[in-house]
Amino acid sequence: MASTIWRLRCGGLRLAKATKAQSLHAASRYRLAKSGARAAQLASFHIDPQALKLINAVPKEMAREISAEMVPHARALVPRKTGELAESIQSSETPKKMIVFADAEYDPRESYAAHVEFGTQFQPPRPYMRPALLAAARKVVPVLRKHYDRLARGGSISARHVIRMKGRKW
Amino acid sequence: MVIDATAALSAYLLADAPLKALVGTRIYTPRLPKNYTAATAAISFRANGAMDPDRLFAPGAGAGKIAQGFAFRCVSTTFLSAHAIYRALYDAMMAIDNTLAAGVLIYTADEETGAQDIVDADTGWPVVLGQFTVYFRNDA
């Protein structure tokens, strides 16, 4: 499982625990890809094992590409006073996920990064992380999708077909 | 004409009985009133954009459907009671299943993030943040 999440921290206290990249549903896409593959097997489709391997690698690479794209976007969007908050926006990789976080320590008692993103009672929100995530996903996902479609074409089922087999409510 | 997603969601939440028991009609958008005090529990939410994953992964899919992200703030006097509001909100959102509200068909809702605690910098109120993406039928 791989997903891109973002965090806002201040003073060592994690204030926004882990906001998942909903717009991508990277983790659920992975599960859907797997269940889609199972459905295809039940329907007697042949799935090239190599194609399946590539499909399963999609979420992780996608998360990595999006994170790399997201950091400069977020830095460009964040309101600047001293630039400390912008500089604190970074990404890191763990075995299971990519994390993009902001961690400016203006005052350990206050969650400055989160207050800028989410706003306060009297201060309107000035989101910079979520718009950056959406922008990065819009840019990266179609490119990667085409790339994997092309790679998976060797098998009798494409990444796109597997991803589309997901049986949502509508 | 594009539907009013915020009004539809507001109507849906105001009609939810468990949520009503906790916050009454104090569901505001996009923010709490200026003179609001945390003595009474409330929810505020605002639309903050979204991207339909169907269109991202499979262009052409999901025609007539729009995805809209909403950021929620559950406010109360303590974090415990604010979390109780969030749980009721979560249940209400997860109960959406091709539901009609204010003349708009709401397909479903996804939780984007779990509950997140934060102390409001201006007032010191305990606030529980939540983020959901809601899918609407655009032409209903």
pLDDT digits (tens, 9 = 90+) for A15-42: 233 333 333 333 333 333 444 444 443 3
Classify the C-alpha dihedral B75-A112-B45-B94 as positive or negative: negative
pLDDT digits (tens, 9 = 90+) for A84-114: 888 888 888 887 777 888 876 555 446 788 8
pLDDT digits (tens, 9 = 90+) for B26-67: 999 998 988 888 778 999 999 987 766 665 555 555 667 888
| pLDDT at residue B100 tops 60 | yes
ipTM of the complex as predicted: 0.77
The contact set of A with B (CB < 8 A) is 15-20, 22-25, 29, 110-111, 114-115, 118-125, 127, 130-131, 134, 137-138, 141-142, 145, 160, 163-164, 168-170
Q: What's the CATH architecture for B5-137?
A: 2-Layer Sandwich (3.30)
In chain B, which residue's Cα lies nearest the Cα of A114?
B118
Alpha carbons A97 and A12: distance in angstroms, whole number:
20
Q: Show me where the domains of chain A are located.
A: 3-164
How is residue A153 annotated by DSSP? T
| A25 burial type by CB count under 10 A (0-12 exposed, 13-18 middle, 19+ buried) | buried
Task: Provide Rg for chain A, Cα atoms.
Answer: 19
- E strand or H helix at A20: strand A13-20
| Residue of A18, A24, A134 with shortest CB distance to B49 | A134
pLDDT of residue A106: 55
Residues of B in contact with A125 (CB under 8 A): 46, 48, 71
Of B46-55, B105-114, B116-125, the poorest mean pLDDT is in B46-55
| pLDDT at residue B76 tops 80 | yes
Q: Show me where the domains of chain B are located.
A: 5-137
Residues of B in contact with A167 (CB under 8 A): none
Measure B55 CA to nearest chain A CA, in Å.
10
Highest mean pLDDT out of A18-22, B2-6, B69-73, B89-93: B89-93
Distance linking the first and last C-alpha atoms of chain A: 26
